[in-house]
Amino acid sequence: MKIWRPLKAIFSKGKTRSKDEETLIGRIAQSVSGRDKGTVYVITGQQDGINVLVCDGKKRTVSRPKRKNIRHLLISEEKVPDGYIGKGQINADDMQISAFIEQKTDI
């Protein structure tokens, strides 16, 4: 798996996030705090300036994503294939998401 990068490495302070946050959709992220610590997710949407919606395809499905603070995630450079993303949202089903996560994390 590729190296996990903290969010600070992707976004610098003082930079507007509107354009950069769109690039977060479809990226793989690992939870670093909370009871789900260590869980690998795919970012499926943006809720507001600080929260994103994540799913893993098993416990958290695409239709029922988890709201997560972006400060509690390590964002990877890995991204789901372009065929899974359309018009700023994830179009893949849960089996495709969970298979992609397993493939990239070598579980």
Nearest by Cα to 81 from 64, 58, 102, 97: 97
pLDDT in tens, 72-100: 999 888 888 888 877 667 878 888 888 88
pLDDT in tens, 46-77: 888 789 999 998 998 888 999 999 989 998 88
Residue with structure tokens 């994503």? 65
Residue 101 scores a pLDDT above 90:
no
Cα-Cα-Cα-Cα torsion 15, 21, 23, 24, nearest 10 degrees, comes to: 120
Measure the CA–CA gap between 26 and 44, rounded to whole angstroms: 6
Q: What is the CATH architecture assignment of 4-105?
A: Roll (2.30)
